[in-house]
């Protein structure tokens, strides 16, 4: 649980700060791109309106750089309607004849007055003159391209470094913030485990004493009724203590404690088949039938007793709440590298509100999951099942609909 909480905390911090960082850098890049585009447009506009023989004057304060456009290579040419070159300006630039021909051909064949070639890093603009001639202004945009590419690489580097630093800070911060929670959780877990362990001895004495009293033939019927009641509640208390100890063990295993859970090659197919066979008579008494579809030879790594407990909890739960006359479907299949166990029963559906808490400890709904004296449920069975699944690196989920009934699904890694 604490590990999941730490992961969520880190993910939220990374998402929030990362979104802000990417938005700022992205906005800066878009602004720079727009500025470069405006500069190119301004340069083309100035050149297209200036006479082909007119040259810009250095240090002319009447024409500030922001008005006259950027310092880039620009070539102005005048051509007739057939594309024949009439004249060009005296700009100290050289352009390949094939590139010039390609640009002029595009400029004279399109309806647009401007265009850009991203492969050649060239932008052009045209204006019609008298007698059908055209003035075409060609600008070299490579400096703008390389400026934007350099800015993009720089922003990407900043993002990677910043996110790496943020991840390291988030990990350290999560450990520091969750330390009190982790300490409280550990204290609570130890208290439950220690209290449950200490209760076993007095409970064993109480159960033994009630059994001795129950065998006393001189005991009156009234006294025997009290002894039987004490024996029943002691048995319930014993079951509760045992389940609390199981929960404590699954908590220790999930937290990474060594030696709590055995690791062995377990034939999970055989485990599921044995669980179905064990509860077949119980299902028959309730007017139900267990239908199993188990793929043979599916093995997982884990504790055989715990995995058996997991399968029995789910099958027992299905038997308890299945409507009489309906089947209980137990299915085990392989899905890639995963073993998928599903246990389905038809009965009273679980509401979405209750379904969110179905694996919580001591949680029972008012209707379908209330404790009955005969069943002796404490609302810990499904919590134990989840703890077992988690401790084996798997997951358990539940769905409940009127059409499909209630289905529990366990996914474990296959060997």
**Cβ burial, residue 81 (10 Å; 0-12/13-18/19+):** exposed
Which pLDDT value is given to residue 224?
83
Closest CA to 359 of 398, 391, 315: 398
Number of C-beta neighbours around residue 175 at 10 A: 12
Q: Is the dihedral of CA 139, 140, 142, 143 positive or negative?
A: negative
Domains of the chain: 73-140 (3.30.450.30), 264-413 (3.30.565.10)
- Strand 85-88 to strand 74-79: parallel, antiparallel, or no bridges (unpaired)? antiparallel
Closest CA to 311 of 285, 276, 340, 339: 276
Q: Which of 14-18, 199-203, 367-371 has the highest mean pLDDT?
A: 14-18
253: confidence class by pLDDT, cuts 50, 70, 90:
low
Residue 344 pLDDT more than 90?
Answer: yes
- Residue 142 main-chain phi, psi, to 5 deg: -65, -35
- Strand 134-140 to strand 122-128: parallel, antiparallel, or no bridges (unpaired)? antiparallel
Question: Between these two residues, 264 and 130, which has the higher pLDDT value?
Answer: 264
Question: Between these two residues, 228 and 411, which has the higher pLDDT value?
Answer: 411
Question: Between these two residues, 369 and 294, which has the higher pLDDT value?
Answer: 294
Which pLDDT value is given to residue 258?
56
Mean per-residue pLDDT, 386-405: 88
pLDDT digits (tens, 9 = 90+) for 153-166: 999 999 999 999 98
Range name among 70-74, 153-157, 263-267, 332-336 with the lowest pLDDT average: 70-74
The two counts, helices (H) then strands (E), for the chain are 10, 12
Cα–Cα distances (Å) from 107 to 77, 113, 277, 366, in that order, read 12, 7, 83, 79
């Amino acid at each position: 649980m604490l590990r999941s909480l730490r992961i969520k905390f880190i993910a939220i911090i990374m998402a929030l700060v990362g979104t802000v960082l990417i938005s700022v850098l992205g906005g800066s890049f878009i602004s720079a791109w727009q500025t470069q585009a405006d500069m190119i447009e301004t340069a083309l506009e100035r050149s297209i309106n200036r006479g082909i023989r007119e040259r810009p004057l250095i240090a002319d304060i009447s024409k500030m750089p922001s008005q006259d456009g950027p310092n880039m290579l620009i070539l102005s040419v005048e051509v007739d309607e057939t594309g024949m070159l009439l004249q060009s300006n005296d700009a100290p630039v050289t352009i390949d004849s094939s590139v010039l021909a390609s640009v002029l051909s595009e400029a004279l064949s399109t309806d647009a007055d401007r265009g850009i070639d991203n492969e050649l890093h060239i932008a052009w603009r045209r204006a019609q003159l008298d007698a059908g001639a055209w003035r075409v202004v060609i600008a070299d945009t490579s400096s703008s391209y390389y400026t934007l590419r350099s800015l993009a690489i720089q922003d990407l580097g900043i993002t990677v470094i910043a996110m790496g630093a943020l991840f390291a800070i988030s990990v350290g911060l999560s450990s520091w913030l969750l330390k009190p929670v982790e300490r409280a959780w550990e204290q609570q877990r130890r208290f439950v485990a220690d209290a449950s362990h200490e209760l076993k001895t007095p409970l064993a004495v109480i159960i033994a004493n009630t059994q001795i009293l129950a065998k006393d033939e001189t005991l009156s019927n009234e006294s025997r009724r009290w002894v039987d009641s004490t024996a029943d509640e002691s048995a319930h208390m014993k079951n509760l203590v045992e389940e609390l100890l199981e929960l404590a063990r699954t908590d220790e295993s999930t937290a990474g404690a060594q030696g709590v859970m055995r690791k062995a090659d377990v034939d999970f197919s055989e485990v599921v088949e044995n669980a179905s066979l064990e509860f077949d008579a119980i299902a028959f008494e309730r007017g139900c039938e267990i239908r199993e579809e188990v793929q043979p030879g599916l093995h997982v790594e884990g504790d055989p007793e715990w995995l058996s407990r997991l399968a029995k909890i789910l099958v027992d739960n299905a038997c308890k709440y299945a409507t009489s006359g309906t089947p209980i479907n137990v299915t085990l299949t392989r899905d890639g590298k995963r073993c998928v166990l599903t246990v389905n029963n038809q009965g009273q559906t679980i509401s979405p509100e209750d379904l969110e808490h179905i694996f919580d400890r001591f949680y029972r709904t008012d209707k379908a999951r209330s404790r009955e004296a005969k069943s002796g449920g404490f609302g810990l069975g499904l919590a134990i099942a989840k703890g077992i699944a988690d401790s084996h690196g798997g997951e358990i989920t539940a769905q409940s609909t009127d059409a499909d009934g209630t289905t529990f699904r366990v996914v474990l890694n296959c060997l």
